[in-house]
Chains A and B, each alone.
Chain A
């Protein structure tokens, strides 16, 4: 999995590419911690190029959402395809993490 980090209008955008499974979720967690240590408060995860999210990926997202919230920030997700959105809804994660249709809308609403 590729993880790219960009900053737009003080919002940290994490762009994921590939599959988010057990091993990749460890990489994502490390990337998140690095971002947090650098002082990021508002983090947006872009799922446009993600084809699969496993349970480990979902667990990592929840953990990072909680960590960000404790640090006074918030986490959002955007560009999620219908299958992954279905997973978010089944696992009720959409009630904990805000989901935006696209990045522009997400950056505007954050």
Chain B
């Protein structure tokens, strides 16, 4: 079986050298399929990437970037299955570039998001080495801990970016996160005290939600004054609100102004 694939790859590379892209991409796709059947996903990823490259080289003025991006996406999926998230991220990025060239912005948006997600996963695999196939204690002893710390910090920021606004491609996620923050803060407010109309009282949930929305959106009517613990929560919520609203607007504009 592997001899057959090798022959197919050899032939495909021959066609590629002769710039016979149609023939080359058919053979690379065939080889990729064979590698998929054998469960060798890294090799399948490479063959799909080569097929995508054939489409991209062939594209020129023709509208073939869409097909190239489809193959780059397939390569990325195979790389993901094999656990090579760094290469998957690179492939999704190029799939996104090809979609953009073809003015296919929905595909671009999705690939950009997936590229960032794969990058985030690659940072995690740097930390925990999920692949673990060739790991050895003598190599483990030489880990550069500066790189580990750098990966950990980048992973935290990347995860926050994913959670709060889906790397700029999921504005609804910002709305969801904002709502969660409003409700969570409201629950915290019910544990402390407010002063309204000269009276100090423990707020009920509805009043807490009202105050939470007013604080988050920076309206600040001044009809309710948080006290003690609630004052700290209000400051933190207002600080979070400074970032949440611009993030939502940026993600919304970024996503919908493309159309």
Contact = CB atoms under 8 A, between A and B. Distances in A.
B86 interface: yes
Interface residues of B, number: 41
A21 B6 contact: yes
Contacts of A33: 134, 136
A17 B184 CA distance: 64
A22 B5 contact: yes
Interface stretch (A1-9, A42-50, A59-67, A101-109): A59-67
B169 interface: no
Nearest to A62: B87
Interface residues of A, number: 32
B134 A54 contact: no
Given A54-B6, A55-B31, A91 B13 contact: no
Interface of A: 21-23, 29, 33, 36-37, 39, 41, 52, 54-56, 58-59, 62-63, 66-67, 69-72, 83, 86-87, 89-92, 95-96
17 contacts: A21-B6, A33-B134, A37-B139, A55-B35, A56-B40, A58-B46, A59-B84, A63-B134, A66-B84, A72-B143, A86-B17, A87-B50, A90-B50, A91-B46, A91-B49, A92-B49, A92-B90
